[in-house]
Amino acid sequence: MELYFMGTNAGVPSLERNVTSLALRLLDERRSFWLFDCGEGTQHQILRSPLKLSKLESIFITHLHGDHLFGLPGLLSSRAYQGGDTPLSLYGPPGLKKFVNTAMDLSESRISYKIDIVEHEGGCLFEDATFRVESAKLDHRISSYGYRVIEKDLPGKLDIELLKSHGITPGPLYGKLKRGESIVAPDGTTLTPSEVLGGPKKGRVVTILGDTRPCPSVIPLAKDADALVHEATFLHELADTAHTYHHSTARQAAEAAKEAGAKSLYLTHFSSRYKYEDQLQGLLHEAETIFPNTKLAREHGVYPVLRSGE
C-alpha cells in the first residue's frame, strides 16, 4: 500500500505543481489502485507515472470544486483507450452524476466499460473481504468529504518449520489454513489454524481529507490512522485568511494529526503563493513543531503506508 501524489497545488496549477489528485496504490493487496480527486491534467500526470489506467478500480471525489474534478471527463474517456475495460466505481457528493453524465453526453463520448456512480453524504460507502471505506462531511464552502480507508486484519504468519515437520510443503494446504480451515497432514495429524498461525496482522488505516477548516469530524476520520493526508493551504500567520476561504493551515493540520493519534501526516494542497522550496519548508517546519512525523507531499513521490511497528 502506497500513496502516490499527482497534484499538490490549491486552486490553480503552477509551473511547479498540478492541482489535486492522489493515488492509493494497492498492487499487492488488490492489483489495482484507487484515485482520490481528479484535478485538471491528472491523466497527463498518470502518463508520467508508473500507474496504468487499466488498473484503476475506484475514484473517490472529495468535493465538486473544479481543481478537484475538472480532469475527470478526460480521464474517463481515455481509460478505455489504455486498456481499461473493467468496471469502474465513482464515489462523490450529490451532483457528481449530473456533472459526469452532462460532460459525457454533450461530448458524445463513448465509454466501453461500466461506470457505477455512487453519490453519498457520508457513512460506509464500500466493504468487501479486504477493505472498508467510510466517509464524513467536513467544513468547506461547498459539501466536502473525507475518506477513511480501513484495511481488514490479515492472517498471521504460518509456522513453516512446524508444518514441515508434519510433511506439509507450500501449496493448497497453506491456503486452507490461512482461510481458517483445519487440515489433515500427510502424517495423519489434524492441524487447526490456531496451532500453526501467529497472531493476525493489524490492518492499516489511511485517511484522505478534502478541503476543510478545522472541524470535529476530522478526528474520528483520522483516529489512529497510519497515514493522514491533510490540506495545508496556508502558513498559520494567515489563519484568518484560511478561515475565510474555508481552508486549514499547516499548524492546524498537525494539531488534528496529534489529537487523532495518527502515525504520520502528509501535507498537501499548498497555496500557489508558496512557489519556492524555502517557503514549502516553512509549512513543514510549522507542522513538525507540533507533529514531528510530518512530510510534504511531493508530486510523483511514493510514500509507503507502513504497519505499526514496521
The pLDDT value recorded for residue 159 is 84
67 is catalytic: yes
Domain, as residue range, for 41: 2-154+201-304
Band (pLDDT 50/70/90 cuts) for residue 181 is: confident
pLDDT digits (tens, 9 = 90+) for 190-228: 988 888 887 778 999 999 999 999 999 999 999 999 999
Of 269, 223, 266, 224, whose CA–CA distance to 245 is shortest? 269
What are the φ/ψ torsions at residue 135 (nearest 5 degrees)?
Answer: -145, 155
In a domain, 297, yes or no: yes
One domain for residues 19 and 88 = yes
Lowest mean pLDDT among 89-98, 135-144, 195-204: 195-204
CB 56 within 8 A of CB 88: yes
- Please give the Cα distance from 157 to 178 (Å, whole number): 9
One domain for residues 131 and 218 = yes
Residues comprising the binding site for Zn(2+)? Answer: 63, 65, 67-68, 140, 211, 269
Choosing from 28, 37, 67, 116, the catalytic residue is 67
The pLDDT value recorded for residue 223 is 98
Which three cell numbers mark 166?
Answer: 508434519
H/E element, 132: strand 131-137
In a domain, 166, yes or no: yes
CB within 8 Å of 23: residues ≥ 6 apart? 3, 4, 5, 6, 33, 34, 35, 36, 49, 51
Residues comprising the binding site? Answer: 63, 65, 67-68, 140, 211, 269
Q: Is 283 exposed, middle or buried (0-12, 13-18, 19+ CB in 10 A)?
A: buried
In a domain, 147, yes or no: yes
Lowest mean pLDDT among 143-147, 190-194, 246-250, 272-276: 190-194
**Single pTM value for the model:** 0.90
Segment 4-9 shows an average pLDDT of 97
More confident residue, 302 or 193: 302
pLDDT digits (tens, 9 = 90+) for 9-50: 999 999 889 999 999 999 999 999 999 999 999 999 999 999
The count of domains in the chain is 2
The pLDDT value recorded for residue 71 is 97
Radius of gyration of the chain (CA): 22
Q: Is the pLDDT of residue 309 over 70?
A: no
For residue 287, is it left (φ>0), alpha (ψ between -120 and 50) or beta? alpha
One domain for residues 44 and 185 = no
CB within 8 Å of 293: residues ≥ 6 apart? 263, 264, 265
One domain for residues 124 and 170 = no
Band (pLDDT 50/70/90 cuts) for residue 310 is: low
Which three cell numbers mark 20?
Answer: 489535486
